[in-house]
Amino acid sequence: MPQYYPVFLDLRGRRCVIVGGGEIAERKIAGLLECGAVITMVSPQVTPGILAHTEAGDIRWEAREYADGDLEGAFLAIASTDDEDVNRAVHEEASREGIVLNVVDRTALCSFIAPAVVRRGEVTVALSTGGASPALARKLRETLEKSEVLEYASLAGVLSSARAEIKRLAVTVHPDRWQECIDGELLALVRGGRSDEALARLLDMLVDGREQVAPTRP
């Protein structure tokens, strides 16, 4: 199995092409729209959900079979068909044009694979087994969704504000100090609706624990 390089892509305003119009493609559309992608769908038929997206102007639908050249100008492509010949043709065009491609359930034809995803506000956790077992990735996702550790995701806003203020003050804080300050009391303040108090407490702790070392990121 290959070792995949984990990465989060900025798809805002980028052209993404989906070949195939079934339920899996419909789920892919939802995720891409959340990221601001500009989506073109190529498929002779689509689900009612995809049709609703086209009627709402969310995506562009080419109601026909895939043809070579459909990926022109695309940053990312997804092939979601049951036709192996079509999947391979999409793979060949993507490889030729340098377009990142996911072929659903065909890991050997992919240049990237889609992870299982857990979202909590500004925090996104992506899980992958490298294509070895999608079922295991799903199990891990469902387990993590119920985990108390994700409660810390609610601190993202306060931590972001603190980071901006630390930069403004030109104060250097050691990475370990950030970890020490992300504690249960800070979480309790935020979850209790006392974000201003949480930010003030966090800044006091960070400044008191600063170290004169090279600038670092939390």
CA distance 185 to 183: 6
Domain boundary among 63, 96, 114: 114
Q: Which pTM was predicted?
A: 0.82
Check pLDDT > 60 for residue 119: yes
> What's the whole-number average pLDDT of the chain?
92
Q: Are 18 and 77 in contact (CB under 8 A)?
A: yes
Query: Quick check: is 133 in a domain?
Result: no
Query: Quick check: is 175 in a domain?
Result: yes
Query: Quick check: is 157 in a domain?
Result: yes
The C-alpha angle with vertex 6 and arms to 119 and 154, in degrees rounded to 5, equals 25
CATH number at 71 reads 3.40.50.720
Structural domains in the chain (count): 2
CA distance 209 to 201: 12
178, 185, 120: which is closest to 147 by C-alpha? 120
Which domain range does residue 180 map to?
152-208
CA distance 105 to 98: 21
Task: Read off the pLDDT of residues 174-214 as tens digits, 9 standing for 90 and up.
Answer: 999 999 999 999 999 999 999 999 999 999 999 875 543 33
Position 214 scores a pLDDT of 36
Q: Which helix (H) or strand (E) holds 161?
A: helix 156-168
